[in-house]
Amino acid sequence: MKKLIKKFLSYFLVGGIAAIVEWGTFALANHFVNYEIATVIAFIVATTANYFLGKYMTFKNNEHKKSDFIKVFIISGIGLLLNMLFMYLMIDKMHIPYQFICKIISTGLVFIWNFLSRILFVYKDKKEE
What is the tens place of the pLDDT at every residue in 77-103?
Answer: 898 899 889 989 999 999 998 888 998
pLDDT in tens, 17-64: 988 998 899 999 999 999 889 988 998 999 889 888 887 887 776 666
Contacts of residue 31, defined as CB under 8 A and 6 or more positions apart, other chains included, come to none
CB distance 103 to 23 below 8 Å = yes
pLDDT score recorded for residue 72: 83
Q: Domain spans of the chain?
A: 2-128
